[in-house]
Amino acid sequence: QEKVQQSPESLIVPEGAMVSLNCSFSDSASQSIWWYQQHPGKGPKALISIFSNGNKKEGRLTVYLNRASLHVSLHIKDSQPSDSAVYLCAVINTGANTGKLTFGHGTILRVHP
Amino acid sequence: GPKVLQIPSHQIIDMGQMVTLNCDPVSNHLYFYWYKQILGQQMEFLVNFYNGKVMEKSKLFKDQFSVERPDGSYFTLKIQPTALEDSAVYFCASSLEGQGERLFFGHGTKLSVL
């Protein structure tokens, strides 16, 4: 069964800082990895995904995937107070064609002005 | 952007009663999901549904659970009878395809079983 571990559990940074969030997964045969953002009382919102080894940049977000080490990271440049949320790493087995996501426990991010 | 609506946002019922959670998925989406999140714990997959059928379900999807989407209306999760451990937030999601596509989530229905 796929396991997804995230670190750190929580993070407090000043506005404008670079944020780095980590995620490790157990199945090397995966899969796309998604990062979701979840604000209190709301459902998760998809931010960015990666399938191939390497990195992918979208706006202030950059994600890095290393399949050999089963590790993916999300970096948020120039963080804003509105980025304060829980960040969820989720792994999907594209081969199974079921769309099932396995989530990590999340990292709580707080960006203070 | 596309929205998934969940009704109601909060439901309180007595143990043993039946409850139906309703989800209005994104209109052109074909895959539908239910996830369960207990306070302080990770989001866990319950079931997915495509073309009128359950494709995959987890061990959390007990025999008391059922899903359907009659005639393209609401996608529903029914629990009959409910148990105390069913108390959680239930999130509905939908996607256009099943292969690595982003899922669009609703805001959840908080179910409290007393």
Query: Looking at CA atoms only, how far is residue A84 from chain B in angstroms?
Result: 17
Q: Which residues of B52-63 are buried (b: 16+ CB within 10 A; e: fewer)?
A: eeebbbbebbee
Total length of chain B = 114
Mean pLDDT of chain B: 93
* Mean pLDDT confidence for A69-97: 91
Which of the four pLDDT bands, split at 50, 70 and 90, describes residue B110?
very high
* Mean pLDDT confidence for B78-97: 95
Q: Do A99 and B45 touch (CB under 8 A)?
A: no
* Mean pLDDT confidence for B96-100: 77
* H or E element, residue A58: strand A54-58
Chain B, 30-49: which have a CB under 8 Å from a chain A CB? Answer: 31, 33, 35, 41-45, 48
Which of the four pLDDT bands, split at 50, 70 and 90, describes residue A31?
confident
* Mean pLDDT confidence for B46-71: 93
CB A77 within 8 A of CB A23: no
Is residue A97 pLDDT above 70, yes or no?
no
Q: Which residues contact B81 (CB under 8 A, 6 or more apart)?
A: B15, B16, B17, B18, B64
Query: A112 by DSSP, 3-state: which?
Result: strand
Structure tokens at B57: 């379900």
Is residue B99 pLDDT above 90, yes or no?
no
